[in-house]
Amino acid sequence: MRYVYLILIFVVIAAVSVLGFRGTKSTKNPLEIFDDMDHMPKYQPQDESAFFADGRTDRLPVPGTVARGTFEPDAFKASGKNGDAYGSGFPIAVDNAAMKRGEERYNIYCTPCHGAAGDGQGRLAAYGMTAIANLTAAPYTEMPEGEIYHYIVNGSRSGRMYGYKEKLSVEDRWKVVLYVRALQRAANGSVNDLTPADKEGLGL
Ligand code: HEC
């Protein structure tokens, strides 16, 4: 008979431990008989540490550590800014190759919205996306190069356009800015841009 009671107690405990007290919520820590390695003697990122004097688990790089890979030492080239202000000009070689590369990247990443001509009439405009910036008009024609670069990296001010940090390298971003400048020039050209030789025979 003793065994029957013991087995009954065992069955009840087993049933409760498997099924639990269903539906009851508790703010207390669960009873951990087997903690399944929930708690490991390791530091999580940004944990506190009683071991290090400054109280941080994350250690600073040792003095003299040199950044590699994506590090860009030229602040203007990296951010488009000189101090707090957007800078003008290009920190890359401005030549035909850069323009070609900029055109290619622009056509891949920007045309769906801004259109091949930069006027905001891309495919997405046809599908009903509104208020896409016309990059060939003010204020974009007046913006310093560094500001256009900044929006390419970080996205637009209103957050309606994402940044292209991951998609475009530092060099490529500047090449896209270069191509945007070319689109602006093309959209705002006038007869006065023509050389006398060009004008010849056009009856101008
Ligand atoms: C998914 C659509 C989309 C794509 C792709 C896109 N843009 Fe935009 N972009 C927008 C919209 C919409 C705005 C206007 C939103 C706003 O004013 O915040 C905008 C605004 C801008 C602005 C002005 C930002 C501001 O805050 O005034 C610049 C510069 C710009 N885009 C450049 C680019 C370049 C260069 C690319 C390609 C690398 C690109 N965009 C790709 C949708 C897009």
Closest CA to 149 of 135, 138, 160, 137: 135
On whether the CB atoms of residues 179 and 173 are closer than 8 A, the answer is: no
Tokens of residue 119, six digits? 């006027």
In the prediction, which pLDDT does 82 show?
95
Q: How far apart are CA 9 and CA 108, in angstroms?
A: 70
31: amino acid identity, one letter? L
Q: How confident is the model at residue 18 (pLDDT cuts 50, 70, 90)?
A: confident
Cis peptide before 63 (omega within 30 of 0): no
Predicted confidence (pLDDT) per residue in 77-96, tens digit: 999 999 999 999 999 999 99
On whether the CB atoms of residues 147 and 89 are closer than 8 A, the answer is: no
Atom of ligand 1 nearest to the CA of 124: 2
Predicted confidence (pLDDT) per residue in 19-65, tens digit: 776 677 888 887 888 888 888 888 888 999 999 999 999 999 899 88
* Pocket residues: Cβ below 6 A from ligand 1: 109-110, 112-114, 124, 131-133, 135, 140, 148, 151-152, 156-158, 160-161, 164, 176, 180
End-to-end CA distance of the chain: give it in Å, rounded: 117
* φ, ψ dihedrals at 80, nearest 5°: 80, 0
Which of 49-68 are b and which e, b meaning 16 or more Cβ less than 10 Å from the residue's Cβ? eeeeeeeeeeeeeeeeeeee
